[in-house]
Structure 1
Amino acid sequence: MLRAVRERDAYANLVLPKLLRERRVSGRDAAFATELAYGACRSMGMLDAVIEAGAGRAVAEIDGPLLDVLRLGVYQLLRTRVGAHAAVDTSVELARAEFGSGKAGFVNAVLRRAGERDQQGWVDALAPRDPVGHMAFEYAHPVWIAQAFADALGASAGELRELLAADDERPAVHLIARPGAITAEELALVTGGEPGRWSPYAVYLDGGDPGAMEPVREGLAGVQDEGSQLVALALTRAELLGPDAGRWLDLCAGPGGKAALLGCLADIDGYHVDAVEPAEHRAELVRTAVRDLPVTVYVADGRDSGLTPGYDRILVDAPCTGLGALRRRPEARWRRTPADVRDLTVLQRELLTAAWDLLRPGGVVVYSTCSPHLPETVAVVADVARRTGAEELDTRPLLPGVPDLGDGPAAQLWPHRHGTDAMFLAALRKPL
């Protein structure tokens, strides 16, 4: 899996389950393989710094396949309870089997050097001195992302360590009980999970393969972070001016989780949802997710969808850096760069403006991102609101019972406060 991520820019969460099924790895072995693979991806920045210190050369000068072995070994030494002797020996044997005795000796030397300190010892030796840089190194985040989190926390920036620690842990699996098909209580009973805290449809699982569970296979339930569930629910709860004619739109629908929840709720009330997705393969994922629901999927660019205006409710879950979902995508933090932000914020503004043009007077658009980064969140909303004269609604009451959502009018969810991805959401209403 590490090789696929390094060579093909593959997504760890897509590659690993397939590999485990193909190799028939299950139970405790699958859990351990998952911990090693995801953990080594998540911790890459710290691991590479320790490897460079042990090897006396930059990781760019180390052969890629050998680097994969070193990352696995150093991860076990510093961030698991695997015994040092076992971590070194298995890594050396792997290198010997793959590359021969010469390379095995190099791995042995680097790992023995790495094992001279524990994780805290390497943090003390290698981490930058400034507070944000130090915490970023300690909790395996690029400095620019840690700084973006600190900026988004604002007056609560003292929580940065707690946030980074939560973001550095493997998250619980969140299921959604499809409204009208199964209740959260029933789903929890069947799966051995427990009902969620904030969404009436959420269920938490400690582990296991959710795709193998009968309610998921039968379409009664799906895998969806509780924060994403709350975004879709907020759209349905926002107060309109005038009656809801039941014409809803999901303008950035792929891969279909929010469209499916909106479709379930629309089905109960006799409403209809249109869903837009520009990529055909992702549109097919949406079609699969909304099968048998009152949802029509359009393959189109949300900025120029060709749809007829007059929607009551529109969701713009915009493409973003994904900084709020890093714990679920372990390799993503090392792929994103600050340069990604500029093009995304242009796209986000264009999508929100297009949604505004499709909204009826008195209707509401909810803008959301799975990123707390200020240029992608409050800056986009403020710009569009200023240009359109939109009324910014207080979004926090649309998440009843959820505390600590920020100063408003937008709402910000956090892993360390809410156990969800760091979803941002803001509600804009069009004046009559």
Structure 2
Amino acid sequence: MSRAVAARRVAFDTLRAVHESDAYANLLLPAAIGRAGLSTADAALATELTYGTLRRQGTYDAVIAIAADRPVTDIDPGVLDALRLGVHQLLSTRVASHAAVHESVELARTAGGRGAAGFANAVLRRVSRDTPGDWMTHVAESARSDDEQLGLLFSHPVWVVRAFRRALAAEGRADELEALLTADNASPRVTMAALPDLADAPGDARRTPYSPIGFRLGGGDPDALVRGSGGRIRVQDEGSQLAALALTRAVPVTAGERWLDLCAGPGGKTAVLAAEALRNDARLEANEISPARAGLVRQALAGVPMDVPVSEEDGRTRAAEAPGTYDRILVDAPCTGLGALRRRPEARWRKSPSDVPALTQLQRELLDAAIGALKPGGIVAYVTCSPHLAETAGVVADIRREWEGALEEVSAREVVTALAEADPGLPAQADGSGRTQLWPHRHNTDAMSISLLRRV
């Protein structure tokens, strides 16, 4: 098997696992590349094929349906993944058409036999006869509404398109919808964090514009740098860094404060909180309901020389057990994850509008419990990696009504702007709140929402 063929096979196997077993490509792909012994160039090819196909899956399915003259639901799933991989190479890469068709047909053969190979060959040759621009015209013409057209062209479910439009409109920026959808389909740049007072960025690094602990490498291997630092330097989105720093730097820290990271997994924000606690003589505790993710939290804390106990409870129970105890609590709540579709593109196909009510109920209960665990004057940071208004402004508004007279808002927008070296351009929200909403197309971060509430 040639190396390029091996790279395609790794990509195909990863796609199958994502669609058959709900695996996550970001966890599965690196291990698959290692097992296959791919070179750096072929690992890059496998990565591009996997993520590019997942990001553009909605568009490619529309192309396949037109070329095959049948719904993609009528196509064997293994054959469909081979077709998606082939269409990605034909429409979005510089791979030679004959190679893209031949290798994808062979993958279809392994998935469904000779008949599947013949079918795949016919479909892919039909696709190869038109230009990418022609196919976008065909796809646009197949849509039944303007929102469906956007969803097909930019490979997002229609309900996500509508949720994004509403969230942007809350800032008076509804005209940026296509820019946001485009950014979701681009590969994110690798951003690093140097834990404060524990590590420094390399001399050739470029500082990030918003987080004071963030940087991007001028060159070199990020994994090698992380390993060499003992975990004190880590790969971490700038929005994630800011979510933790907004809590620790919202107001000056008093020595001896007690902090809690209520939903800590996988531990990136916990590590930043721990470094901040260490430098300010505060104490940090962490909680994560999932034992596997709790293990990741402990690994993330390995580079911080302080004892951070990690409990494994439902966050609502954990907070209820300690009323009036903490000075600062981070609630990085379970959410739809719509803010991280650049990194986890398959997530857009796994969530539906019906998931939102249960999530917002859980979010409200976690935030309510966290506020009950605050001391008077204590601050909670409510964070979601989602811009969906029901998960952000809606949850906070509900909680403020429930705790009427007992809460005041600290402007996360002002806190984040003060942290930043460059103006992040964070406008007021339509509801008049001080909530911060970061965006991939404006800030090159995940679409992180941050609200700060003080108990009074």
TM-score category of the 2 structures, normalised to the smaller one: over 0.9
Q: Does residue 362 in structure 1 map to residue 373 in structure 2?
A: no
3-state SS in 2 of match to 1:173: coil
Paired residues, number: 425
What stretches of structure 1 of length at least 5 have no aligned partner? Answer: none
Please tell me the residue identity of whatever aligns with 1:183: D
Q: Does residue 263 in structure 1 map to residue 274 in structure 2?
A: yes
2:184 corresponds to which of 138, 153, 167: 167
Residue 337 of structure 1 is matched in structure 2 by: 352
What stretches of structure 2 of length at least 5 have no aligned partner? Answer: 1-13
2:151 corresponds to which of 136, 146, 154: 136
Kept in 1, the 8 Å contact 2:83–2:104? The answer is yes
Distance 1:206 1:106, change over 3 A: farther
Q: Does residue 430 in structure 1 map to residue 455 in structure 2?
A: yes
3-state SS in 1 of match to 2:63: helix
RMSD: 2.0
How far apart, in 2, do the equivalents of 1:197 and 1:57 lie?
48
3-state SS in 2 of match to 1:373: coil
User: CA offsets per residue over residues 80-133 of structure 1, 9 Å max, x none?
Assistant: 122222211222233345544332221110011122333332222223364433
Residue 5 of structure 2 is matched in structure 1 by: none
Residue 233 of structure 2 is matched in structure 1 by: 221
User: CA offsets per residue over residues 224-269 of structure 1, 9 Å max, x none?
Assistant: 11100001000011137x9564211111111111111000111112
How far apart, in 2, do the equivalents of 1:384 and 1:214 lie?
39
1:302 corresponds to which of 296, 308, 315: 315
Residue 46 of structure 2 is matched in structure 1 by: 33
Q: Does residue 158 in structure 1 map to residue 171 in structure 2?
A: no
Q: How does 1:161-200 map to 2 (within 5 A)?
A: 161-184=178-201, 186=202, 189=204, 193-200=205-212
Kept in 1, the 8 Å contact 2:374–2:455? The answer is yes
Distance 1:75 1:207, change over 3 A: farther
| More deviation, 131-140/12-21 | 131-140
User: CA offsets per residue over residues 116-151 of structure 1, 9 Å max, x none?
Assistant: 333332222223364433222222111111111110
Q: Does residue 287 in structure 1 map to residue 298 in structure 2?
A: yes
How far apart, in 2, do the equivalents of 1:17 and 1:30 lie?
9
Q: Percent identity?
A: 51
Distance 1:138 1:207, change over 3 A: farther
Q: Does residue 238 in structure 1 map to residue 250 in structure 2?
A: yes
3-state SS in 1 of match to 2:192: strand
Residue 111 of structure 1 is matched in structure 2 by: 124
Kept in 1, the 8 Å contact 2:254–2:280? The answer is no
Residue 88 of structure 2 is matched in structure 1 by: 75
3-state SS in 2 of match to 1:320: coil
Residue 4 of structure 1 is matched in structure 2 by: 17
Give, in angstroms, the shift of residue 207 of structure 1: 8.8
